[in-house]
Amino acid sequence: MSEKHEHETSKQVSAEGIQQSSSNPSQNEEPMFERDPNRKWWHGIKEPGHALQIVTAAILAIAIGMAVTSTVGSKNIPQAATVIIGIPGVLWLRALRAVVLPLIICAMILAVQKLREMSTGGGAVVAKWSVSYYVLTTLLAIVHSTIAVAVGWIRLMQVMDAESLEVTDEDDQDMINERTETKIHDVVKQMFESFIPQNVVKSLAEDGLLAILVTSVIVGYLLKPNSPLLKVVKEIEELITIIITWLIKAAPIGVFFLILPNLFRLDIASIAQNLGVLIGSSLVGMFFHLFVVLPLLFFLILRRNPYSYWMKQSPAWITAWGTASSAATLPVTMKCAKRTGIPDGLAKFTLPLGCLINMDGTAIYFPAVVVFLAATQGHELTGADYVIIVLLSTLASIGTTPIPSSSLVLTVMIATSVNVEITGMYAVVVAIDWFIDRFRTAVNVSGDLFAAPIIQKLAKVEDDGVVSEEEGVVVTDNNDRV
């Protein structure tokens, strides 16, 4: 492929609002809401797939769903209506997930090639800082969540009566029995086995994202720069970009029809009675991490306004909230990062990696659920129990797959490890998990986006993809400087 053709393709995609990768993003990137100084930010609502359209669709879905649920009652809404209404959202989500695997494969191969072009050891530096930063933020999330729940929220949790703790449904009991059998050593074994695929084709068919990521890194490292296969990968990436562009334009419709049927299953009375404290502790912990911890790290390292930066990434975290899947949101996440000046090679490496191992929202949720299960049955946790919860939550959050509600199985493993019995309250947690899962995913994706420029600074990666000898880093948009 000629350089002229690549440049023309980049301009075409940029005109549609999704910036194609380029060697110097700082010259081509456009602000998220404003394309010229004289245009008001709300004018973008007319553009297909604009962040304001996604926000409006989400608000409408929540308003309609809450109105119907509070008026008719979730139990009186026919199941057929919920299923049929959700079809457009399910189809959009399936299409989005369909491009995730080829996107990860192409992105990682091209990213590793880009890292190899850096100065000696540059790729290793990026990998080191990426993993170190992700583990650090995960530990911070778990520690402050555990402290908040153990010191404050647990006092608001009430011991439930025997009838509420009893498991009355056979399906619920079968689910609990199956998940209780999950042992710590099994989780550790499965996590390490997930790095190396026994059958690459099977991993592709079963969405073995971590195995595919590792395989793609190896292939990317072994490919020669002038390999014909590398040209094929670039062509496929361009095709994926075109598909993603269309899917992002359809995002408001997809998000609306994903949220609305889920609201129809919302039992407001049950939430107020049984799960208000759990929801409150989880959401407060996530908001604290999202609006205090991550912005503080962002400001201390980059000296930039973290909230301005976060708002520019709104299409990604809004889509994450709507889909409840970090993997499905990955195409949008990568486009948002590139539009705000993250170097192409860095974005292709750090964001897919963060999608798989950086689960701050999930990490916050684990301690809250375990303490909730213990408190509702009058089980007192010791200091040693809380240490075990922190360690296992760290391991579990890294091993959680980036798909909706995948943390439920690991929650049982952590609870049983500190001798907390799985009672009927677990079934209640499962019933509301879809709601909290959306916030977990939004925090996870936001954490990845905050991480990208931080890793760029720590690894001293310049816009042209080389490791700089200086401490400074080139920033595309200086409007968010403090």
Reported as a single tens digit per residue, the pLDDT across 193-249 is 777 878 888 877 777 767 777 888 888 888 887 888 888 888 888 888 788 778 878
- Residue 404 has a pLDDT of 53
Residue 438 corresponds to which tokens in the numbers above? 């959306």
Q: Which amino acid is at 20?
A: Q
Least Cα distance to 293 among 446, 406, 410, 423 occurs for: 446
- The whole-number average pLDDT for the span 403-424 is 71
Asked if 412 contacts 422 with a C-beta cutoff of 8 angstroms, the reply is yes
Q: pLDDT higher for 42 or 126?
A: 126
pLDDT of residue 476: 38
Nearest-5° angle of CA 285, CA 287, CA 293?
A: 85
Whether residue 471 is predicted with pLDDT greater than 50 in this model: the reply is no
Q: What percent of the chain has pLDDT over 90?
A: 11
pLDDT > 50? residue 22? no
Least confident span in 97-106, 176-185, 359-368, 409-418: 176-185
431 vs 222, residue with greater confidence: 222
pLDDT computed for residue 174 by the predictor: 58
Q: 3-state class of 304 per DSSP?
A: strand
pLDDT band of residue 322 (cuts 50, 70, 90) is confident
For residues 341 and 461, the answer to whether their CB atoms sit within 8 Å is no
| pLDDT averaged over every residue in the chain | 74
Q: Residues 43, 47, 52, 56: what is their CA dihedral angle, to the nearest 10 degrees?
A: 110
Q: Which two tokens stand for residue 206?
A: 């079963």
CB 214 within 8 A of CB 353: no
In one letter, which amino acid is 386? Answer: Y
Which of 433, 348, 270 has its CA nearest to residue 20?
348
Q: pLDDT class for 81, splitting at 50, 70, 90?
A: confident
pLDDT at residue 8 greater than cutoff 80: no
Residues 6+ apart with CB under 8 A from 347: 21, 107, 111, 334, 337, 338, 452
Q: What is the pLDDT of residue 388?
A: 84
Name residue, tokens 């964001």: 351
> What integer pLDDT is reported at residue 265 of this predicted model?
67
Crossing angle of helices 3-15 and 228-249, in 10° steps, is 10
3-state secondary structure of 168: coil
The answer to whether residue 296 scores a pLDDT higher than 70 is yes
Pure H helices in 117-169: 122-151, 162-165
Does residue 117 or residue 3 have the better pLDDT? 117
Q: How many helices (H) and strands (E) does the chain have?
A: 24, 0
Token pair, residue 223, equals 């490919």
278 or 309, higher pLDDT? 309
For residue 234, count CB atoms less than 10 angstroms from its CB and return exposed for 0-12, middle for 13-18, buried for 19 or more. middle
- Whether 341 has a pLDDT exceeding 80, the answer reads yes
What mean pLDDT do residues 161-176 have? 53
* Overall average pLDDT of the 257-269 stretch: 72
Q: What does the alpha-carbon distance between residue 149 and residue 151 come to, in Å, rounded to a whole number?
A: 6
- Between 266 and 478, whose confidence is greater? 266
Which residues touch 373 (CB under 8 Å, ≥6 apart)?
A: 415, 420, 421, 422, 423, 425, 426, 429
State which amino acid sits at residue 409.
V
The predicted model gives 120-133 an average pLDDT of 77
User: What is the distance between the terminal CA atoms of the chain, rounded to a whole angstrom?
Assistant: 42
The pLDDT of residue 32 is above 80: no
Say which DSSP state 22 is in: -
Coil, helix or strand at residue 193: helix
Token output for 45: 């609502």
- Distance CA(298)–CA(111), nearest Å, equals 23
pLDDT score at 214: 81
Q: Which of 36-50, 413-427, 434-448 is predicted with the least confidence, judged by mean pLDDT?
A: 36-50
CA distance 306 to 311: 9
Please tell me the predicted confidence (pLDDT) of residue 481: 39
| pLDDT category of residue 450 using cuts at 50, 70 and 90 | very high
| Max Cα distance, the chain (Å) | 72
pLDDT score at 230: 84
What's residue 170's pLDDT? 56
Percent of the chain with pLDDT over 70: 70
> pLDDT grade, residue 356 (50/70/90)?
confident
Report the pLDDT value the prediction gives residue 274, as an integer from 0 to 100.
53
pLDDT of residue 339: 85
Residue 443: the pLDDT is: 93
For the cut 80, the answer to whether the pLDDT of residue 179 exceeds it is no
The answer to whether residue 459 scores a pLDDT higher than 80 is: yes
| Whole-number CA gyration radius for the chain | 23
115 vs 103: CA distance, rounded Å? 18
The predicted structure's pLDDT at residue 4: 43
- pLDDT of res. 401: 55
- Asked if pLDDT for residue 307 goes beyond 80, the answer is yes
Do the Cβ atoms of 179 and 405 come closer than 8 Å? no
How confident is the model over 174-183, as a mean pLDDT? 56
Output the CA angle 397-340-141, nearest 5 degrees. Answer: 20
Q: Which residue has the higher pLDDT, 408 or 382?
A: 382
CB within 8 Å of 156: residues ≥ 6 apart: 277
Q: Residue 94: count other Cβ atoms within 10 Å of its Cβ.
A: 11
DSSP code for 340: T
Interatomic CA distance for residues 415 and 429, integer angstroms: 13
Judge contact between 349 and 111, C-beta under 8 A: yes
Q: Does 151 score more than 50 pLDDT?
A: yes
> What tokens were used for 157?
């949790």
What pLDDT, on a 0 to 100 scale, did the predictor assign at position 13? Answer: 37
Residue 40 scores a pLDDT above 60: no
Please, are residues 360 and 138 in contact by the beta-carbon 8 Å criterion? yes
Pairwise CA distance, residues 313 & 54, whole Å: 13
Q: What is the mean pLDDT of residues 178-194?
A: 63
